[in-house]
């Protein structure tokens, strides 16, 4: 794992590369990257919106509203952009927080009335005014983001109270960002102090340790109040509010029969990195506490207490806590717990997207396919697919200097594509700019739903052609960002929404024409043709004019762009494009042939991969699998043919398995592994 200095160096390079490829200011890139990470770990919600407002003595760059906990967060930053980690001084922090407080105070007094209605800052100031007016605030968090390092006493500043609203002050520095990077699950650590009687279930020889306990409703409310969505970062569901029958039942039980909650409710399943048990046998501390199943129960109890003002002190919730000894096994363990748990509401298959074969396919193509050399260079490079932020840096962690240099040359920073960016560009091209405008997490969920459904129908859907086309859509996205930033009509607001709607409009245009955009042309040159740039200039200007003039009843442009009606109105734009380059588009039949051919190649590749994999498995493991299934311990019994092939492989009667035998053996191995059989 990289040190904080190595992480800082890579982090700065990420910002410089991102700023250059997207025509952003470096400080703007820093702010966006950090906020995306904070959303992913639950420090900010999906309601987060960037919005810059700077005047003398006032400074704010974005805001977030947790509508369940009634917490407003207003953001500022101190970006040093220095090769050496700088120290954030007390004076700098006080200045940043004072400017945030001034912005909040003026917003509550009607600052929005002095602003241009089409600006992002107008929406921020207006919403803050309304939150206060409607008494929808319990707490205001002033948050400063920095690539520097703050001393501990500055990280934990005392809170204040103003008109019954609590003010909290928080610094997110390079150490905190490094902690996010260090956790493979990207979960911010939630350490909780408790005093819970518990029953230890299994012995120390198990790969995980389990405890049964009961947690009080008041304590659960307190934990959720302190940690919020960070508790559920690894969870597969979000709170559905009191809409379904189950949730109404939870509320009714809390209100009328709290003593029966333990009997009626399935309780909570949680995981931890480690626990401390006192001499009295009680749990005293739970490190990296994560609720895997039971997020709905937790949120229901919290909402009953904070929103409905119900007494939850008599509510007792059973909790099953598992401590996973090997952190590298945590993701798989959590996924299996969530999948097999007796859940209260249906969970879609896409909720397990982190384990989807999509990622394996994308990673394989990322490692194998070279991008064409461009600009007279003989150097060929890869587009690096990063499933988890930090994977790019981890890949270099143990390389010698010469090897590291070679790795960076073959995988340049500007060609790193993470799953969040990919999902955003794919959803744009799938013509849902309204979803993209709701934020990265909503885009990711939508993409996960659609890709999961696609793979259920066709497991060969993610081909080499798909990989190249997806990368071209990333290139298109970055090009549109640059076009808009440099446009004479652009005044600095709603760029992200304009980009999303521009790309979606282009996609809709090609779909209606019966043609396909020629992504091969983009792939071969690794850039957007000039004729397409001219098209995008026309589209983007009209899109901007359209989305910044919302329909009646939608004064808030940010909210308007999240509405499907906005997309309907943008599709009404009628443009003429003179002298289109015929190379830009290809016939649909030609594209379908490319896809079919690519699937054929993938079938061959998968057969070869299965044969190679099977030959790497030891006879000892094949014997272990044969004994397992022969004794009918498997969740799914094998057919006589499958068992026969497994028996021959285990006894050494098959020296070189055929493609068909390899496929059968691979399926058997994968099935047993998923059932928990201990094989390498």
Q: pLDDT tens across 490-507, in order?
A: 988 899 999 999 999 999
Q: What does the pLDDT average to over 613-639?
A: 75
- Of the three residues 325, 346, 367, the one that is the final residue of a domain is 346
- Distance, C-alpha 189 to centroid of its chain: 17
Say if residue 305 is in the same domain as residue 370: no
Q: Is residue 614 domain-resident?
A: no
Q: What does the pLDDT average to over 584-598?
A: 76
Say if residue 257 is in the same domain as residue 389: no
Q: How far apart are CA 225 and CA 68, in angstroms?
A: 10
pLDDT, position 327: 62
Q: What is the band of 608 on the pLDDT scale with cuts at 50, 70, 90?
A: low
Q: Is residue 680 domain-resident?
A: no
Q: Hey, how many other C-beta atoms are within 10 angstroms of the C-beta on 561?
A: 25
pLDDT, position 384: 95
Quickly tell me which residue has 């939608």 as its tokens: 554
* 673 vs 211, higher pLDDT: 211
Q: What does the pLDDT average to over 665-673?
A: 78
- Of the three residues 312, 346, 380, the one that is the final residue of a domain is 346
Q: What does the pLDDT average to over 616-620?
A: 82
Q: Is residue 642 domain-resident?
A: no
pLDDT, position 455: 87
State the CATH number of the domain containing residue 59. Answer: 3.40.1350
Say if residue 229 is in the same domain as residue 295: yes
Q: Is residue 216 domain-resident?
A: yes
Say if residue 198 is in the same domain as residue 131: no
Alpha carbon distance, N-terminus to C-terminus of the chain:
23
- φ, ψ of residue 497 in degrees (nearest 5): -70, -40
Say if residue 415 is in the same domain as residue 322: no
- Kindly report the average pLDDT of the chain as a whole number: 84
pLDDT, position 473: 97
Say if residue 413 is in the same domain as residue 315: no
Cβ atoms of 568 and 496 closer than 8 Å:
no
Cβ atoms of 11 and 177 closer than 8 Å:
yes
Say if residue 158 is in the same domain as residue 196: no
pLDDT, position 345: 47
pLDDT, position 342: 44
Cβ atoms of 258 and 312 closer than 8 Å:
yes
- What are the residues whose beta carbons fall under 8 Å from the beta carbon of 338, sequence distance 6 or more? 235, 236, 292, 293, 347, 351, 352
* 490 vs 235, higher pLDDT: 490
Q: What is the band of 328 on the pLDDT scale with cuts at 50, 70, 90?
A: low
Tokens of 302: 């919290």
Q: What is the band of 213 on the pLDDT scale with cuts at 50, 70, 90?
A: very high
Q: What is the band of 649 on the pLDDT scale with cuts at 50, 70, 90?
A: confident
Q: What does the pLDDT average to over 523-551?
A: 94
Cβ atoms of 77 and 27 closer than 8 Å:
yes
Q: How far apart are CA 661 and CA 65, in angstroms?
A: 56
pLDDT, position 181: 77
Cβ atoms of 92 and 78 closer than 8 Å:
yes
* pTM of the predicted structure, to 2 decimals: 0.72
Cβ atoms of 319 and 223 closer than 8 Å:
no
- Under DSSP, the state recorded for 44 is S
Q: Provide the H-helix boundaries in 119-205.
A: 120-133, 152-155, 174-182
pLDDT, position 601: 67
Residue 251 has pLDDT above 90, yes or no: no
Q: What does the pLDDT average to over 38-45?
A: 84
Structural domain range at position 261:
192-346
pLDDT, position 206: 67
**What letters, b where the CB count within 10 A reaches 16 and e where it falls short, cover 167-183?**
bebbbbbbbbbbebbbb
613 exposed, middle or buried (CB, 10 Å; 0-12, 13-18, 19+)? middle
Say if residue 169 is in the same domain as residue 301: no
DSSP 470-497: HHHHHHHHHHHHHHHHH-TT--SS-HHH
Q: Hey, how many other C-beta atoms are within 10 angstroms of the C-beta on 586?
A: 18
Domain count, the chain: 3
Smallest Cα–Cα separation from 171: which of 100, 66, 117? 100
pLDDT, position 625: 83
Q: Is residue 237 domain-resident?
A: yes
* 506 vs 661, higher pLDDT: 506
Q: What is the band of 338 on the pLDDT scale with cuts at 50, 70, 90?
A: low
Say if residue 363 is in the same domain as residue 268: no
Q: Is residue 566 domain-resident?
A: yes
Smallest Cα–Cα separation from 286: which of 354, 220, 206? 220
pLDDT, position 259: 87
Q: What is the band of 30 on the pLDDT scale with cuts at 50, 70, 90?
A: very high
Residue 142 has pLDDT above 60, yes or no: yes
Q: How far apart are CA 620 and CA 651, in angstroms?
A: 10
Residue 310 has pLDDT above 70, yes or no: yes
- What are the residues whose beta carbons fall under 8 Å from the beta carbon of 89, sequence distance 6 or more? none
Smallest Cα–Cα separation from 550: which of 532, 567, 526? 567
Residue 163 has pLDDT above 90, yes or no: no
The length of the chain is 680
Q: Long-range contacts: 457-464, Cβ < 8 Å, 24+? A: 459/357, 460/599, 460/602, 460/603, 462/357, 462/358, 462/361, 462/362, 463/595, 463/598, 463/599, 463/601, 463/602, 464/365, 464/369, 464/598, 464/601, 464/602
Residue 175 has pLDDT above 60, yes or no: yes
Beta bridge partners of 215: 317
Tens digits of residue pLDDT in 83-123 = 999 999 999 999 999 999 999 999 999 999 999 887 889 98
Q: How far apart are CA 9 and CA 28, in angstroms?
A: 18
- What are the residues whose beta carbons fall under 8 Å from the beta carbon of 254, sequence distance 6 or more? 217, 261, 300, 301, 304, 310, 312, 315
Q: Is residue 620 domain-resident?
A: no
- Of the three residues 559, 583, 607, the one that is the final residue of a domain is 583
Among 8-17, 153-162, 297-306, 388-397, the range of highest mean pLDDT: 8-17
Q: Hey, how many other C-beta atoms are within 10 angstroms of the C-beta on 619?
A: 11
Q: What does the pLDDT average to over 460-469?
A: 89
Say if residue 428 is in the same domain as residue 281: no
Say if residue 178 is in the same domain as residue 199: no
* 200 vs 426, higher pLDDT: 426
Say if residue 307 is in the same domain as residue 432: no
pLDDT, position 127: 92
Q: Is residue 542 domain-resident?
A: yes
């Amino acid at each position: 794992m990289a040190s904080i200095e190595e992480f800082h160096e890579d982090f700065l390079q990420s910002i410089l590369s991102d700023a250059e490829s997207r025509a952003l200011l470096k400080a703007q890139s820093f702010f966006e990257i950090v906020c995306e990470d904070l959303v992913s770990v639950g420090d900010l919600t999906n309601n987060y919106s960037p919005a810059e407002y700077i005047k003398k003595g006032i400074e704010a760059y974005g805001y977030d509203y947790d509508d369940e906990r009634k917490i407003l967060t207003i953001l500022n930053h101190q970006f040093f952009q220095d090769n050496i980690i700088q120290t954030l001084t007390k004076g700098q922090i006080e200045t940043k927080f004072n400017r945030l407080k001034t912005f909040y105070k003026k917003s509550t007094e009607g600052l929005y009335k002095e602003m241009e209605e089409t600006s992002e800052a107008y929406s921020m100031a207006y919403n803050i005014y309304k939150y206060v007016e409607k008494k929808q605030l319990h707490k205001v968090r002033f948050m400063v983001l920095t690539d520097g390092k703050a001393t501990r006493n500055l990280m934990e500043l005392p809170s204040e109270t103003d008109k019954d609203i609590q003010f909290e002050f928080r610094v997110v520095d390079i150490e905190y960002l490094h902690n996010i990077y260090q956790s493979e699950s990207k979960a911010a650590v939630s350490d909780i102090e408790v005093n819970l009687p518990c029953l230890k279930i299994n012995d120390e020889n198990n790969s995980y340790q389990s405890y049964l306990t009961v947690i009080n409703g008041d304590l659960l409310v307190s934990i959720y109040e302190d940690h919020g969505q960070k508790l559920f970062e690894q969870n597969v569901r979000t709170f559905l509010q009191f809409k379904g029958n189950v949730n109404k039942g939870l509320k009714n039980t809390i209100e009328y029969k709290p003593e029966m909650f333990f009997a009626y409710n399935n309780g909570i399943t949680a995981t931890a990195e480690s626990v401390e048990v006192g001499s009295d046998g009680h749990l005293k501390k739970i490190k990296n506490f994560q609720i895997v199943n039971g997020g709905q129960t937790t949120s229901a109890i919290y909402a009953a207490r904070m929103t409905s003002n119900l007494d939850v002190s008599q509510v007792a919730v059973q909790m099953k806590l598992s401590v996973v000894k090997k952190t590298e096994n945590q993701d798989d363990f959590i996924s299996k717990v969530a999948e097999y748990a007796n859940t209260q509401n249906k969970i879609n298959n896409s909720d397990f997207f982190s384990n989807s074969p999509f990622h394996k396919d994308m990673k394989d193509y990322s490692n194998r396919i070279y991008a064409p050399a461009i600009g007279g260079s003989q150097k060929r490079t890869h587009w690096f697919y990063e499933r988890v932020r930090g994977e790019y840096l981890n890949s270099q962690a143990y390389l010698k200097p010469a090897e590291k240099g070679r790795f960076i040359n073959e995988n340049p920073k500007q060609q790193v594509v993470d799953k969040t960016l990919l999902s955003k560009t794919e959803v744009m091209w799938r013509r849902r700019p309204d979803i993209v405008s709701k934020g990265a997490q909503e885009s990711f969920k939508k993409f996960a739903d659609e890709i999961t459904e696609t793979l259920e129908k066709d497991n060969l859907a993610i081909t080499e052609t798909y990989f190249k086309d997806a990368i071209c859509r990333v290139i298109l996205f970055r090009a549109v960002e640059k076009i808009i930033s440099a446009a004479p009509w652009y005044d600095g607001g709603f760029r992200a929404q304009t980009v999303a709607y521009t790309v979606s409009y282009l996609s809709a245009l090609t779909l209606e024409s019966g043609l396909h955009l020629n992504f091969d042309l983009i792939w071969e040159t690794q850039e957007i043709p000039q004729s397409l740039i001219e098209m995008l200039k026309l589209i983007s200007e009209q899109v901007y004019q359209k989305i910044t003039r919302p329909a009646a009843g939608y004064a808030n442009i940010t909210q308007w762009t999240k509405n499907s009606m906005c997309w309907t109105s943008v599709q009404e734009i009628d443009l003429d494009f003179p002298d289109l380059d015929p190379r830009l588009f290809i016939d649909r039949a030609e594209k379908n042939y490319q896809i079919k051919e690519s699937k054929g190649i993938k079938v061959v590749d998968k057969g070869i991969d299965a044969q190679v994999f099977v030959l790497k498995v030891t006879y000892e493991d094949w014997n272990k699998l044969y004994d397992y299934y022969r004794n009918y311990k498997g969740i799914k019994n094998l057919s006589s043919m499958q068992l026969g092939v497994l028996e021959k492989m285990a006894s050494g009667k098959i020296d070189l398995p055929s493609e068909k035998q390899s496929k059968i053996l691979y399926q058997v191995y994968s099935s047993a592994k998923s059932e928990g059989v201990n094989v390498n």
